[in-house]
Structure 1
Amino acid sequence: MTAGAVSPPAAGTTTTPEPVAFAADQLAGFRIAVTSDRRAQDLITALERRGAQVLHAPALRIAPVAEDRELIADTGAILAARPDVTVVTTAYGMRRWTEGADAAGLGEELMDVLAGSRIFVRGPKARGAVRAAGLDDTGIADDERTSSVVDMLLAEGVAGRTVAVQLHGYTDGHQLDRLRDAGATVLTVEPYRWVRPDGVDRLPRLVEAVATAAVDAVTFTSAPAVDAFLSAAAHAGLTDQVRSALGGEVLAAAVGPVTAGPLVAAGARPVVPERYRMGALIRLVCEHLERRVEEIPTRLGPVQLRGRSVVLGGAVGTLSPAPLAIFRALAAARGGILSRPQLIAHLPEAANEHALDMAMTRLRQSLPDPRLVATVVKRGYRLEV
């Protein structure tokens, strides 16, 4: 496979060709959770421009590079060792590394050492950053994976060589061990590290929203953010509910296979764009959610069920989980009468007569027009199709 070619999808993930259409209302009625910190506003703005409601809770944020003693110490060790090979995994990491070195007065020496090293890059963006620094690379992974770069190095042999690896916030220790086991001396530098963000109380609320299917999709742009999300779910005792939601009602979308890895390991089947870029991720989310829009003809006019929202004419009603479960059951019946026991069976929890009465009341209050649901005396309820 040549550089720039698309690799096969990772096991447990789903890829979809990118759609090209854009409409300002294509995500209207859908609620999407965003877990990223860096460039989060770009993602949020793009989703909101398409009509989505966004719930944002950064799982992690990148530690500031200023006065990063560990970065400077690791850089000094690499300068002293003058590695035979350097692996650059991310463009952002490369830029922050050179910025940190410059701030410490080590910029010129770092460029000299890297120029004398054979540089391997994980993907096109990392290659671009290397070349922007006035350097050149020896090889590139065709699937943007660190494991593929290590495969290349092992194929040519690394015994007795010193290999410097620029880490990217999510250390794949197994790949470093592969190099060490093959006889290499491995040095690492981590230009950015992940720390808990400000306002950490938002993340538990986002986890609960996913667990209760109060969002239609959740997006991830880094593997560390996935780990933080899953850890928060475990801390809240919601692991099983989150796993169930991500396997059904809630779409999990990851920007690339590395990000998708922890989700797959947790039992989810995230969707991954063919191009591992934010724009492609946005288009993929649009395509998958647009497929979930349900058109229902009724006596009051055509109704759209869009995620948690019911749209009738220009009016929109947003439903909580229990009323939504009832409405979906009635919509699936297409005018057929559902008895009270049948509807109780569709309630997500607290399934009893009182819960049904409460859910039905909230449903009618939330619908654009309460007449959409009709009571059939002594028999049950039906949708006015």
Structure 2
Amino acid sequence: MTSDKPLSGLNAVCFESRLSESAANLLEKYGANVISAPSMQEVPLEKHDEVFGFGKKLFNGEIDILICTTGVGTQMLINALETRYELEKILDALRSVTIVVRGPKPIRVLKKYKVSFEVTVPAPNTWKEILESMDNDEQTSSLTEKTVAVQEYGESNDDLLRELKQRGAVVLPVRVYRWELPDDTKPLMKGIQAVLDGNVAMALFTSKTQIDHVMQVASEKGMESPLKEAMNNLFVASIGPVCTGGLHSYGIKVDFEPTRSKLGVFVREISHEFEDPSSQL
């Protein structure tokens, strides 16, 4: 290993999908040999019943707070509403509610449309930080009988919805897309097989759904138990607490979490783990 390429000669499998090329480029920058194994895709819902139900309440002034959880989801929410309503009507209505943003990606979408937001959730942007941020802001600290719409990303966050209800809110989940396996699962299967064959030293996960899909495919092939065992012999890197929780739920240890749940920080800080010659690998 060299100081500028601390991952030199290390084989890594990365299950990132939407930013798979960026993740591979970052890892290769530090010298790693990368197997990209995309494990998911975002699929818009065929029917937008929840979105249009939200829209009706929004235009009737029945939404008090909107929690925007992802940039992709916020954009899809606006796009879906735009199939039925004028864009300016949508934006004017959004400007009339208190908006909570989970991290920088929904912020970028809202700024593009000149829609303001009142509460910003800090890293690592889990449901716990959402609640803490809301509890600490006078505009969102009292939720009794307030209608809180939650733009969901792929799957419901039961913990967040439960805690909002316990605070007295009327909770309105709004799903705009779901997560599915990629249309082509051959690269994913190649990554899984590389782990089983002992051909990689590191596995990187950037979302809980990735591990769910990896284990789903392994289970369908009768490989779930051997894969868990093999994973526990690798250096497993998780981008944040939610992802870590998903790995732990399958009995897979996590060796590393970054200080911030950002892809560039994630890979850079992994490389720092291997700058020390005494690193475990």
Tell me how far apart the structure 2 counterparts of residues 161 and 55 of structure 1 sit (CA, whole Å): 47
SS at match of 1:168: strand
Cα distance change on mapping 1:292 and 1:191 into 2, 3 Å: farther
Which of 79, 83, 106 is equivalent to 1:99?
79
**Percent of aligned positions that are identical:** 24
Which residue matches 2:92? 112
SS at match of 2:218: helix
Map of 1:287 onto structure 2: 272
Q: Give yes or no for contact 1:170–1:223 (8 Å, CA) kept in 2.
A: no
C-alpha deviation, 1:44, in angstroms: 1.2
**Alignment-derived partner of residue 257 in structure 1:** 241
- Distance between the aligned counterparts of 2:106 and 2:180, measured in 1? 23
SS where residue 276 of structure 1 aligns?
coil
Partner of 1:113: helix, strand, or coil? helix
- What do residues 243-286 of structure 1 show as CA deviations (whole Å, max 9, x unaligned)? 333333x1111222222220122331241111211101111222
| 2:13 maps to 1:37 | no
1:209-224 equivalences under 5 Å are 209-224=194-209
Contact 2:208 2:246 in 1 (8 A): yes
Q: Retained in 1: the 8 A contact 2:119–2:134?
A: no
Question: Is the Cα contact below 8 Å between 1:223 and 1:262 reproduced in 2?
Answer: yes
1:211-246 CA-to-partner distances (Å, cap 9, x unmatched) read 343211111122211211122333344444333333
Partners of 1:89 and 1:168 within 8 A in 2: yes
Matched, 1:278 2:281: no
Out of 40, 51, 59, the position equivalent to 1:75 is: 51
Separation (CA, whole Å) in 2 of partners of 1:125 and 1:60: 19
Answer yes or no: is 1:150 the counterpart of 2:131.
Answer: yes
Match of 2:148 among 138, 163, 168: 163
Counterparts of 1:122-141 in structure 2 under 5 Å? 122-141=102-121
Q: Secondary structure at the match of 1:174?
A: helix
**2:180 matched to 1:199?**
no
Contact 2:13 2:35 in 1 (8 A): yes
**Does the 8 Å contact 1:204/1:236 carry over to 2?**
no
Q: Secondary structure at the match of 2:78?
A: helix
Q: Separation in 1 of the partners of 2:223 and 2:181?
A: 20
Aligned with residue 121 of structure 1, among 75, 81, 101:
101
> What is the root-mean-square deviation in Å for CA atoms of aligned residues?
2.7
- For 2:131, the aligned partner's letter is V
Q: Which amino acid aligns with 1:28?
A: S
CA distance in 1 between partners of 2:98 and 2:159 (Å): 22
Hey, what's the Cα distance between the residues in 2 that align with 1:34 and 1:216?
11
Change (3 A) 1:187 1:292: farther
Q: Where has structure 1 moved over 6 Å in runs of 4 or more?
A: none
How far apart are 1:154 and its partner, in Å? Answer: 6.1
Output the CA distance in 1 between the equivalents of 2:130 and 2:203.
30
Post-superposition CA distance 1:101-157 (Å, at most 9, x none): 335544323212211111112223333433332122222223312233234546723
Work out whether 1:234 is the aligned partner of 2:210. Answer: no
Residue type at the aligned position of 1:286: S
Structure 1 residue runs of 5 or longer lacking an equivalent are 1-20, 295-305, 308-385
Kindly indicate whether residue 33 of structure 2 is the aligned counterpart of residue 53 of structure 1.
Answer: yes
Q: 2:176 aligns to what SS in structure 1?
A: coil
Q: Provide the residue aligned with 1:370 in structure 2.
A: none
Task: Say if 1:41 and 1:104 are closer, same or farther in 2 by CA, change over 3 A.
Answer: farther
Instruction: Find the aligned partners of 2:244 and 2:86 in 1 and give their Cα distance.
Output: 36
Taking a change above 3 Å as real, the CA distance of residues 218 and 103 of structure 1, as seen in their structure-2 partners, is: farther
SS at match of 2:17: coil
AA at the equivalent of 2:55: L
Count of aligned residue pairs for this structure pair: 270
Cα distance in 2 between the residues matched to 1:287 and 1:241: 30
Do 1:29 and 1:53's aligned partners in 2 also have CA atoms closer than 8 Å? Answer: yes
Output the CA distance in 2 between the equivalents of 1:290 and 1:70.
50
The answer to whether the 8 A contact 1:260-1:270 is kept is no
**Structure 1 residues 136 and 22, CA gap change in structure 2 (3 angstroms):** farther
